Amino acid sequence: MLTLIKSSFIDYKLTILRNKKTPNSLFRQTMNETSYLIAAEVLKHLKYKQTSIQTPLAKTKGRDLSKSVVIVPILRAGLGLVEGFVKFLPKADKGHIGLYRDEQTYNPVEYLFKIPRVKNKIFIVLDPMLATGNSSVEAINLIKSSGVKTSNIKFVSLLAAPEGIKNLKKMHQKLHLFTCSVDKRLNKNKFIVPGLGDAGDRYMGT
């Protein structure tokens, strides 16, 4: 399932991120701000349950998450989408997946995999750029190998290439995928076009 997160304000933020003249400090700030807009939309799709609470004046009913949430950025670029989710879900657990792309084969190479206990939890995997989808597929494989069902995983990106979406859907058919833009294509170096360049480098200032 693909959910396209769209609004004029998100488009405005994307324009700043895409612009090659945007300095690293503004890029980082804008990415963090955009993460709040994305998180607000993604969290609408979680399941909630009714709960009872005591206000200063009386008992009343409210809503709580049906399952605990684990936020898992794919390093490095995934860190750029963490802030909004962490602020909205301060009690959420965190995990980290470290993958880099072999520039000869374009296949992912794992160097870190740390997640908390998985029972009865929803995993939100963050990676701004869904290009070939190879790293995303591998990240989901790692989480599923720990005992998590695909239906309990949500994948969140800022931009996606059609090739990456197709790959991710093929390998993980029940995965719920979120993105703000489906760009035109990948170039010969497997970068998203028009894209915004290397999100990790621009976010980290490297």
Compute the distance between CA of residue 133 and CA of residue 143 in angstroms, rounded to an integer: 15
Catalytic, 201? Answer: yes
Catalytic, 198? Answer: yes
Q: Strand, coil or helix: what is 123?
A: strand
Contact yes or no for 161/186 (Cβ under 8 A): yes
Catalytic residue among 76, 101, 132, 179: 101
Among candidate residues 136, 132, 129, 82, the one with its CA nearest the CA of residue 110: 136
Compute the distance between CA of residue 155 and CA of residue 165 in angstroms, rounded to an integer: 11
Contact yes or no for 190/106 (Cβ under 8 A): yes
Q: If you ran DSSP here, which 8-state letter would residue 132 be given? A: S
Catalytic residue among 3, 28, 93, 198: 198
Catalytic residue among 15, 201, 202, 206: 201
Compute the distance between CA of residue 58 and CA of residue 55 in angstroms, rounded to an integer: 5
Instruction: Count other C-beta atoms under 10 Å from residue 83's C-beta.
Output: 16
Catalytic residue among 105, 127, 150, 202: 105
Residues with Cβ within 8 Å of 54's Cβ and at least 6 positions away in sequence, in order, are: 60
Task: Please list the active-site residues.
Answer: 101, 105, 198, 201
